[in-house]
Structure 1
Amino acid sequence: MIIDTLITARWIIPVEPDGVTLEHHALAIDRGRITDLLPTTEALVRYQPRRIERLEHHALIPGLVNAHTHAAMTLLRGVADDLPLMQWLQEHIWPLEQKWIGEAFVRDGVQLAMAEMIRGGVTCFNDMYFFPEVVAREAVRAGMRAAVGMIVVDFPTAWATDADDYLRKGLALRDDYRHEPLIATVFAPHAPYTVSDEPLVRIRTWSEELDCPVHIHLHETADEIHRSGRQYGMRPLKRLDQLGLVGPHLIGVHMTQLEDGEIARLAETGASVVHCPESNLKLASGFCPAVKLLAAGVNVALGTDGAASNNDLDLLGETRTAALLAKAVANDAAALPAHQALRMATLNGAAALGLGAETGSLVVGKSADVVAIGLEHIESLPIYNPVSDLVYAAGRQQVTDVWVAGRQLLKKRELLTLDATEIREKTLIWRDKLIHHS
């Protein structure tokens, strides 16, 4: 049988079924989708591929899903470090955004972010930022999968004037990209402290009508909880629950301040949580109780947050941090084992975004979103358990090849759909602007 591509590898880790590692197997890809997963010896007899990739020292995994980003903020990497969240936002990030935000900033920042993410094995990112139509356009050009946030805040920015304007422009974006297979759209109210009740109620109505997720920063810091208590007389999650937003469409990001009853409510309603451990550690925001959430049955995904607060978009590194931090927080070395952490970085993220039937695991019929990671390096040897090796030892510099929907975006560490030289040059121009004109 003639197919487009056959990838043979030392190991394939499909994520579904959970905890399975296949040795000396091959992935058959045709028309952008996975058509077979079988032993290499059988694949070489059964298929006549137009292209064959022989990866004798590699593990194939599903493309990583970065479930929370502010991609364009990569241009602000390192601009205001070692500060608490609200001081970081109010005194540094928001003033810079007010001065510089625009289509060119977002375009160049997103290109830099995508180049970094692709080289780190991320094939899908969930973005929350201004000028989302620019994010969508650049993702399609690069061949990357993206869930683009229809952002909403109460205050005016360079992109929109008020909540009505944000929602109108967001829904127009959704209409524009409804037939583009690489682009999904999600409602993205920034946070309970930046969005008032009336827009949140409208978002709930549209979310239900369109079957669309709602992506929001939630219970990120103790200060957020205290402010909500003073302003609304209740915690933010309870407020969202009273507004009808706590349900299977909700994607709560950070969730470092959770009580047991709130965890139970998230599980009961089918909400998802995005854990961003490195950003939370850097901003001293607290610890997401990932193990408790998972034990309760909550879908927990992983995100990097923006590079302005992390300071990278390294989801493989985030997976390692999540696994180690979970053990310390739970005081249990068996908490969050490697295979579960990898699932959080892949299938759980896809499920949170409503894309679980399309990506997140290497299953016949799904999109061929695939990452190859070389494990022959000194830093990875010896290999007793490739999943543990990926999570606890391997680094993103070992990602060699990346495909999205069967299209190769990275080959032997070289970007194929983005111009790395041009991206570097534009990034340095932005650095000089921000240094000299801030």
Structure 2
Amino acid sequence: MPPEDPVRLTRLLVGGSVLALLSGTAACGLQTIEPKIQLRDALQAFGDQQSVAVRLSVPSSADDVRAFAEATDESVESEDIADEDLDTLLSSSIVYGYDKGEKADDPADDAVSAQVRIGDLTAGEVRAIGETGYARVDLDGLVEEFPDMAEDVDSFRAELDGAPTDVPEALLAPARALVDGDWVSLDATELLEQIEAMGGGSTPEDDKKLQSDLQELGGKALKDAVVSVERKGEDDDLGDHLVVKLNLRKGYATIREGLPGILPESEDPATLEELPPVSEVPDKDVDASVWVRDGELTRAEFDVAQFLDEPAGHLVLRADALDAEPVKAPKDAVPVDVAALMEGAMAVPPGTEEELDAYTIAAWVDMDLTTVASDEGGEPSVEYLPEVMSYYEGATPDLVITAVGAQVQVSTGGETVCLTPSPDGMGEDIADGPC
């Protein structure tokens, strides 16, 4: 913390009569400045930690969530929201962990983890350590929580145990591991190579730089958005309660200005044009609550209901700082065959061919044309059709996809449609009949 301003310090040390005269003004100044410093130092300490763990949850009451839902969507009635669904939401949480690894300055050994919890059940967990991802799911626990899943889970188990199955042979071992609640692993580098070979994706180095740049921009936007910080009380467990007033327009202006300089060159410029101008974002202040104990962040809360035109209920998002532990690779994880996984993802499951009509395939083609064009810095057109044709090999027995001038003709199952490639890949212009 920087030394106090000598002028201010001198004033505070002046004789008793002057001190008494200035005490009220000095106290007001301290209440304005000190909470900001307290918040700044706590945020800095949080960012400097070797390992971080945060639990995200919704602590609102069921009645508040119902009122909020009705206010945001007039078609929603309170009775439309099942009690069971609300109970699941309000008892659920996500625990996020981050570990800088042994080399704090080298992101190569950084690790992250995320757990989805429903009450006392850890329903699923993923970890990413270096270039390897890990996952596990507690299906038995989920079946206890949601009994309607039992039939599907039992059926899938039977397939893996010898009944006819659509699961490729190379994926049977990791599939069985997942069903049994064991860990599986996946080589992220190999997965990205497969995606890149298909005409999409970015390099791990690009992704890490973009993530770092976005985090830095987000921090700057938060700093620029702060209007004031006030201390509102103290909690024995959580520490000082600070209320941070944020201006939406100021924060958004920083993000809107900074995004063009950090997005990859392959990103479609139209993406930024779709963002609203700064002038359309409300010049409105909203409050976020932060608790700080002994210089460390303990909790943060934000009520989304502040965005409503009229107050109605609450939807509070809470983040609790937890005791962090190093994120380690689980032992005996069953590896996933990435090539088999990608091949299975692109294949059409047996028995579903008749469900794929010409219109559906044309819509997919439109989306793929947009993706490939964006990756190559061009505009969606039939020029990129040869690059996406391989995606649809064997999709249906009689599928024919051809370029007709600037359009794409798709025929299957006795149907023919004509696609005019769209700028956003949403398939808005698909006409019945040949081109």
Q: TM-score, normalised by structure 1?
A: 0.22
Larger relative contact order (CA 8 Å, sep ≥ 6): 1
Q: TM-score, normalised by structure 2?
A: 0.22
